Chain A
């Protein structure tokens, strides 16, 4: 009974700022450039900046409710990963072309300067975690320990996401 009652009681207002959160501007200053590059790899250059805007807006909306500030960078990467997935799903559901079942061509456009060999389209079709893990591991060339740190998961989970992502890519991409 006590449980039921407690769950209906809102947290007191001053709990909001009991965590020492840095001013949000410092998150923008410290992480905008790396998140932008992450999003270029995830969704391509044309949409990266929009996705980054959405990432920061969502983060700012949730910011005062954060319970701890231990790994804000991983938190931002997670939001960016979700924003990328949202955008990709939107493109899959509502393609720019009118023909049903034809995926939006923008999904397969590789980041600037790279050949259109189907790889980046396949990367975008990956589940969000696998896509993020592959980008951290190979595009940013991070060790698994650092991939895990940026994703806010265990090193084991980071390895699993990378290998599952690679397996899936191999099935989809010729040679």
Chain B
């Protein structure tokens, strides 16, 4: 090594520390202002475990329970909604606060706009019908199928509900079998029971 090469190599490892939190916050703020932040996300604690909340300029696009693996979840958002996705507590704040209020019993309806980008075809009608079922009430797979225009498509309605991208906010836990059976829940039946107890539908 020549003297010159050694002098170049002398750059100390430490240097000024990069403040990652500041970089992240500033980047999200500037990207949003420039209109190039398409999806913002943040984690939120809840009695049902850590939730990951994704919002777009249009509204809440995805809520995920922690049983969903991160890599698949983020790949889905990047591929289907947009790869311009950043962690951004600021832009997800309203959504996270409403969810928190719901779990604390301070809120019965969500005022959040919803982005239906991840929902297609028949599922749109089913989930929009589901979103109209009020707190503390329940409906059946057949009823939401009928509201979506196909009274005999209860099974298809079940599939649509099983792939609800926005659980809790779009309350698919309020949809039960016509005979009162609990049916299914993508987050697991324990979570469904918890939510129904929270709303007073099931006895605590």
- Interfacial residues, chain A to chain B (CB-CB below 8 A): 17, 20-26, 28, 32-33, 36-37, 40-41, 45, 48-49, 52-53, 56-57, 60-61, 63-64, 111-114, 117, 119, 123, 134-135, 138-139, 141, 166, 169-170, 173, 175
Residues of A within 8 A of B8 (CB): 119, 123, 134-135, 138-139
A139 and B11 within 8 A (CB) = yes
Q: How many B residues touch A, CB cutoff 8 Å?
A: 38
Residues of B within 8 A of A175 (CB): 3
Residues of B within 8 A of A173 (CB): 4
21 contacts between A and B (CB under 8 A): A17-B82, A23-B75, A24-B85, A28-B24, A32-B18, A33-B18, A37-B15, A45-B16, A52-B18, A53-B30, A57-B30, A60-B37, A61-B36, A63-B83, A64-B84, A113-B12, A113-B14, A114-B12, A117-B7, A123-B8, A138-B5
Q: How far is the CA of A123 from the CA of B5 in the complex (A)?
A: 12
From A22, A41, A45, A135, name the one whose CB has the most chain B CB atoms within 10 angstroms: A22
Q: How far is the CA of A119 from the CA of B27 in the complex (A)?
A: 32
Name the CB-closest residue of B to A19.
B83
Residues of A within 8 A of B204 (CB): none
A23 and B23 within 8 A (CB) = no
Overall SS of chain A's interface: helix
- Interfacial residues, chain B to chain A (CB-CB below 8 A): 2-5, 7-12, 14-16, 18-20, 23-24, 26-27, 30-31, 34, 36-37, 39, 41, 74-75, 77-79, 82-87
A40 and B4 within 8 A (CB) = no
> Which one of A25, A33, A40, A48 lies within 8 Å of B85 (CB-CB)?
A25
A61 and B23 within 8 A (CB) = no
> Which one of A48, A57, A64, A117 lies within 8 Å of B31 (CB-CB)?
A57
A57 and B27 within 8 A (CB) = yes
Q: How far is the CA of A24 from the CA of B24 in the complex (A)?
A: 12
Q: How far is the CA of A57 from the CA of B8 in the complex (A)?
A: 29
A28 and B74 within 8 A (CB) = no
